[in-house]
Chain A
């Protein structure tokens, strides 16, 4: 049938007057969009393969290129949108599950953008972070319940195995395999220099990165790829991945073509085989099983490391988090449904789960109602895009945030959402050696450091404006927030008042 479901979404527009036929675009495009035509004596493009990653546009020395949305359109239909129609064509042709990458692009409410931050006026002075100390250090982990003293009356308690962060931001889990060696190295270098943490994701830890262990969170996911004693010992904390915001309820799938020698060795699976992590952990069918895994991991590491349990934000998140808090975990990480992924079934990514803002607010409230909020730390991710989102997350009740998409953007990602194709022109979501080497880890880490440093400055400015000089006094300080354009129910769940109240 002549139905072309993958027709030109984007169109490459080349200004022939500017083009000097240098063929940079041709060399840069792993999707083979550009080529030199000897017949016409100029560059030609096949827009069909373009994913709009902007690599050619960025590198074109004469700025001769732009990528635009193809104005060709189906007949307008508010119900059967063009995307909906094309999905049917695709599946009718392939019989397959639709795949997507990165966080959902659908038009769901972004609650961060409907929350406003307070500032001091008259009754309370704002504080100038350039002149006064401004503290962003946080400690994550389980807090002692009882005051314990030695025979001389000195306090002997300590927060056990705390993770100290110079700023309440961590790079969240992205596995080696889903992203490149150089991307991992950029994250590791940056985490170390910033005094924060990055996360291995479920793909194990490459032997070259063991020296960064003090700034590494090692993940244990349902596939248990690359998990062994040395791996657990290498990290500063262990994260059990129960779920991921972009795809709650299912596991991961790294196609065999991405499993080369190094990935194979790190994941401890044969080269070229698909790495499929199961939907559940097959040793965790309920909360009491989770407790056993937490304590197995603690036993294995002599109780020297905090255990994080990462869960996807789903409908009953408050009750689940409360269960996790009582199961021996030191830190709960919640991943919202707008969070990124290297590959997920489109329907799941776009329809399953709930926004992180609501999940965070209801979990924080529930843990406080039960009087256990101070026993455990709360880290949230799933589309934290800038310093204002972070300030809002902390004021809603988070101890720290996880950032992944933002970190990838700093490394050059243009959110073309084609990670699952494995041909990332920016050297991030690919294992093709020629593409990987495009990302220089030194430069990459500098850009990450710049980003987090800039955010830190902005957080300090906003805190200072509120008259707060320690991030601890912002945590859960919901009076510093007001909603704008929200319903009573939304305000009730977020636990904030409306602007003007």
Chain B
């Protein structure tokens, strides 16, 4: 495929028989010979290895952690200064109208902050930070791959490489030596399962991936199952479940904004769109992202319009992600509905092939999270 970038694991994907597709400017594996359904189930039951090297890895450095944290808090409405050393936290970049320009993970790695952003947004995010942050350096880490090892067997597998991996708790970060490679590891992921994300030098990535895959519990998993896993886990996909037209409160991500950044907090506001975002945190939003369970067997995908009634009326929202949930055993979806239809148990109707089919507003996640807290 011309003009598409390759990750350091491209040759391995090909050797493993992956079906490659274009994604965010990269040629990425959508599935391996196991197939999406079995890859999904394998990750929930054992462990799956994902190549997420297309994502952006960025270091924000300054005189010390506090300098970098204070700078980033001008762009991100979360408590970064209060993040303990070797801990990670979810965050958002917002714009002046209160919309979300990307979501990200932030880690306090002692003297700097390590950030992981979405592939499709990394160039924009880096430019945004470089243009708006002063007194800090913003450096893309282009010489590292990023792997995710996800599923209940992950701890046992990674523990054979470095026993310290097993001692980490959910959202801890650590530098571990894995098969001789210096890796920046976090205990986190995008599947709702226990697991790790592993930043590894690009020239050692294939070696480490092969060593992980040598464990009988570990199978390679493509983007297809990554999507159904994160959907069952109720996790947002940027550009689909949130974007510049959705605010944190609308996206049901208010939990990510700690008290200290809210009205009355010691470092309230001071980020783009604070006026809109802080007001909505107090008053609520007119629409909200919710989980939706189609009552029938037909999957309802992104773009399906939602109605309050089976017969008439104007749309009250739309589905932003949807498909079949292999672990749930039925279709699952998420989308936006007006606040008066966002209560759990509410029935709404999706229009599919000319028919209005019922869905039930359902708390997220669809499956209980399996984190090592």
A binds B: no
